[in-house]
Amino acid sequence: MLRSCAARLRTLGAGRGGARPPAGNPGPAQRWFSSEKLSANDRSLPNPSWNKDLRLLFEQFMKKCEDGSWTHMPSYSYKNTLSTQDFTTLIRDGKLPNKHLSQAQLFTRSYEEGLGFEYVMFYNDAENRTICFFQGGPYLQGAPGFLHGGAISTMIDATLGTSAMIAVGIVMTANLNITFKRPIPLGSAVVINSQVDKIEGRKVFVSCNVRSADEKTVYTEATSLFIKLEPGKSLT
Ligand SMILES: CCCCCCCC(=O)SCCNC(=O)CCNC(=O)[C@H](O)C(C)(C)COP(=O)(O)OP(=O)(O)OC[C@H]1O[C@@H](n2cnc3c(N)ncnc32)[C@H](O)[C@@H]1OP(=O)(O)O
């Protein structure tokens, strides 16, 4: 039932123009929503490893999607989540400098179900906000019983990057500042609430906080700068 609901929401997302990218630039969000052939592999839908909090948050936000204020973002494990083709058009000689590309996977989707990053994102077009519900599995341990800081940073980067990409198109992280205030227990569901604060030319300033599912504990805070890639400019 949830799967069919997600499919319906994808259709709605495509119909209303998704994230409203700049004119003439279809933007990654629209491509995600129109990737019907990939939807059977959507990793952002509940699986047996999700705990009660993660399921509840997912269901709450799927309901919020019904009036169009929030949109569910599908997510896939393989390389084309951020279209390789789109990315190469932004690189001077049109070639990615990596012979391992055929084996590449999105880092956050490269673990088996329940062991690593379990998450789902939703975005709110009117408020320039992206929210991520995240449950870190046992392979993401840092201090015993708690999430590794690198794993937390990864999900923050992914959420902030998604916010920035929805706002302006393909970006890369230039700067990421993180304050770890409380450790996050392994296996608990947390809420990463991000927003675009300011856009200045190619610079997108975004920020977020990470809270417990009941919102009572603030675990982490972050600010970041993303740069919209300039076509034809070499990155290497
Ligand atoms: C959906 C999935 C989301 C996934 C999110 C994950 C994203 C990632 O992890 S990306 C990986 C980590 N990031 C990287 O590897 C990027 C490495 N850095 C780079 O390639 C380049 O520095 C890059 C692309 C960020 C910017 O390069 P370039 O396009 O040449 O920009 P450049 O002309 O130098 O700078 C543009 C503006 O930004 C400013 N700027 C650039 N970097 C910084 C910085 N670190 N701090 C402050 N300002 C900066 C410049 O000063 C300049 O400002 P102005 O226009 O006012 O003069």
Instruction: For 54-70, write each residue's pLDDT tens digit.
Output: 999 999 999 999 999 99
For residue 104, the CA-to-ligand 1 centroid distance in Å is 22
For residue 136, the CA-to-ligand 1 centroid distance in Å is 28
**Does ipTM top 0.90?**
yes
The residue whose CA is least distant from atom 17 of ligand 1 is 174
The total domain count for the chain is 1
Q: Kindly report, residue by residue over 95-133, the tens digit of the pLDDT.
A: 666 666 677 788 999 999 999 999 999 999 899 899 999
| 57 falls within a domain | yes
The C-alpha torsion from 20 through 30 and 23 to 131, rounded to 10°, is 30
| 235 falls within a domain | no
Atom of ligand 1 at shortest range from CA of 203: 38
Which residues participate in catalysis according to the annotation? 157
* CATH number of the domain that residue 216 is part of: 3.10.129.10
Distance CA 23, CA 92 (A): 23
Inter-residue contact 127 to 165 (CB < 8 Å): no
Q: How far is CA 112 from the centre of its chain?
A: 18
| 163 falls within a domain | yes
Pocket of ligand 1 (CB under 6 A): 82, 157-158, 161-162, 165, 172-175, 201-203, 225, 227, 230, 233, 235
Substitution candidate for ligand 1 out of 105, 165, 172 with most atoms within 8 A of CB: 172
The residue whose CA is least distant from atom 35 of ligand 1 is 227
Return the structure tokens found at 23. 């004119």
| 28 falls within a domain | yes
| 233 falls within a domain | no
- State the greatest distance between any 2 C-alpha atoms of the chain, in Å, as a whole number: 50
For residue 225, the CA-to-ligand 1 centroid distance in Å is 7
| Residuewise pLDDT in 10s, the chain (236 residues) | 344 333 333 332 322 223 333 333 444 454 444 444 446 688 999 999 999 999 999 999 999 999 999 999 998 876 544 556 666 666 655 566 666 667 778 899 999 999 999 999 999 989 989 999 999 999 999 999 999 999 999 999 999 999 999 999 989 999 999 999 999 999 999 999 999 999 999 999 999 999 999 999 999 999 999 999 988 777 76
The residue whose CA is least distant from atom 52 of ligand 1 is 203
Range of the domain at 83: 2-228
| 170 falls within a domain | yes
For residue 172, the CA-to-ligand 1 centroid distance in Å is 6
Dihedrals phi, psi of 14, to nearest 5 degrees:
-65, -40
The three-class DSSP label of residue 178 is strand
Q: Give pTM, 2 decimals.
A: 0.85
Q: Find the angle CA(204)-CA(208)-CA(214) to the nearest 5 degrees.
A: 155
| 236 falls within a domain | no
| 77 falls within a domain | yes
